[in-house]
Copies of this chain bind each other. A is one copy, B any other.
């Protein structure tokens, strides 16, 4: 199937090879569209075209969990402000059955959350068997904003890369498939998107003056992201870098990766554990 092999190719193009060594994000073009089926129009059409297959695979994943299959999918979205994490959730989840989707947005930790180890709030938000979980920000904030803004001493956050790798390995051991996506936008594109928020009163609620201050820390953030990609792209749970300046490309790429990861799981409807003709006859007598 053309789409299937296309998505396989995309996977290898966007994947950060585990153990690849130093990574320089400035070498990644955030406006690129690697592997896309064409320009904007054709890519939008391809995104629509994959929805029925996504919905079918999701239903099978959910169905097989009712027969005790522990498998589930967790999508982790990270990226700078305005990189489109929320927009990606909205577009990719459209057409999925909301009963099997669990979206969790992680904001600055509450006082209660800060009183616990950093993975505490993450563990509470994990998807159940059969579900697709989506994290808009995640445990990676604890080696991103925490590192850049020095919210914890280096000795604390520098241990967390290994802690995260072990945590994710344990999730995979439990039947999770992880899809970790870094939405990569450019410095100029972020300014445009922040301006758009300021220029539309219905978008003011999305704006935080802090976002401007954070732009001064852009190089430090890019460095922190590079460290995440270098140290936490593992065989068990690799990272994918998705160029995100073009929303139509971003939605297609994340949708394609999601589809491809569901195909890797290969969920199947469970066989009936009851006598079908017998129940049919019985039902007709009611």
Segment among A87-95, A160-168, A228-236, A252-260 that sits at the interface with chain B: A87-95
Write out, one digit per residue, whether chain A residues 200-224 have a CB within 8 A of any chain B CB (1) or not (0).
0110111101001001100000000
Within 8 Å CB of A215, what residues of B?
Answer: 283, 286
A interface residues, Cβ below 8 angstroms from B: 63-64, 66-67, 86, 89-90, 93-99, 101, 103, 105, 134, 136, 191, 194-195, 198-199, 201-202, 204-207, 209, 212, 215-216, 269-272, 274, 276, 279-280, 282-284, 286
Within 8 Å CB of A63, what residues of B?
Answer: 202, 205-206
Known: A66-B205, A202-B269. A279 touches B89 (CB 8 A): no
Decide: A198 and B90 in contact? CB cutoff 8 A. Answer: no
A-B contact pairs, 15 of them (CB 8 A): A64-B205, A86-B97, A89-B98, A90-B99, A93-B98, A94-B94, A96-B98, A98-B98, A99-B136, A195-B280, A195-B283, A198-B276, A199-B280, A201-B269, A207-B274
Other A-B pairs beyond A63-B202, A93-B98, A212-B283, 10, CB < 8 Å: A64-B205, A89-B98, A90-B99, A99-B103, A99-B136, A194-B283, A198-B279, A204-B271, A204-B272, A215-B286
Nearest-neighbour CB distance to chain B for A213, whole angstroms, equals 9
Main secondary structure of the interface of A (DSSP, over half): helix
Decide: B198 and A280 in contact? CB cutoff 8 A. Answer: yes
Nearest-neighbour CB distance to chain B for A57, whole angstroms, equals 12
Within 8 Å CB of A201, what residues of B?
Answer: 269, 272
Decide: A103 and B94 in contact? CB cutoff 8 A. Answer: no
Nearest-neighbour CB distance to chain B for A94, whole angstroms, equals 7
Within 8 Å CB of A206, what residues of B?
Answer: 63
Within 8 Å CB of A66, what residues of B?
Answer: 205
Within 8 Å CB of A283, what residues of B?
Answer: 191, 194-195, 198, 212, 215
Decide: B95 and A207 in contact? CB cutoff 8 A. Answer: no
Bound CA span A284–B67, Å: 56
Nearest-neighbour CB distance to chain B for A25, whole angstroms, equals 18
Bound CA span A99–B77, Å: 13
Within 8 Å CB of A98, what residues of B?
Answer: 89-90, 93-94, 96, 98, 101, 103, 134
Nearest-neighbour CB distance to chain B for A101, whole angstroms, equals 5
Within 8 Å CB of A93, what residues of B?
Answer: 98
Picked from B99, B191, B212, the residue with its CB within 8 Å of the CB of A89 is B99
Within 8 Å CB of A274, what residues of B?
Answer: 207, 209
